[in-house]
Structure 1
């Protein structure tokens, strides 16, 4: 069976991460299911010049955030993992407190209840106490909080390289075969 990956995009900065996950997913033969919030569309348009239709074209399947009857709303629909990239603090709070008030947060709740991997690429800085507590609550429920902090040990030459490396690390965390994050080999004398 083909591996399925659910990708959510919310209104925080960092839509490039989701776009890279979708494109890399296609390269790796994944079936991708995309859910983009209205704020996510605004942000993707601002940062990448993409509208909803262009974003949805990057995925195998796209679901409207109001379609709580979509396949990804049920635990019987087997997926490898779900990634919310970027994950706004509003969405983090919804996940941390079990609000299934739209398809994105319902799919995240289903991912957690089925004990599948939920990776939250949270985007905000600095964190306030509510943000930190919500990250703890989500982690206690089984989510992986993954702020997309750049790694510089592999000497990236572009923003694209930084985005790609974070996406590869997320795909590996999601259990996707073929993910290729750069490995630390230790300091070389």
Structure 2
């Protein structure tokens, strides 16, 4: 009987842990819809400093990712297929999470991976974790859509088929064509 109680107790602890952990992933962002996107600075793959404010006047899709994250890679492939050739009002920016450890060799490896995946949108390196800190990014992948006025209109901290559909609908509501014929 005592062994069964220990087993049930362990099971209850695991369930409690999962219950507490999983919702936190969806609540990992400290920015929500309707809020103004704070300015953050990062670098492109060539080392040029860029600001999120450089893209004001356009719809911006931020995809926070890491190469070790399978769902991130699925999302990047989806974004390339569906939005990379969208009308000029949409800018897709893939913000890499691995930048704290980025040596020049790692940046070169990332460039090769990006080329192999056929990604044509900008890859941004958040070397100082400026964006991650200001937005409280704690789960990957994380997707954020910013409207032409710099307001967040979509934020999600995972990637599934229903996420892709929500993203597509959000962009359609902003007049962004999602039919790329690819």
TM-score normalised by length of structure 2:
0.38
Higher relative contact order (CA 8 A, sep 6+): 2
Larger Rg: 2
TM-score (norm. length: structure 1): 0.37
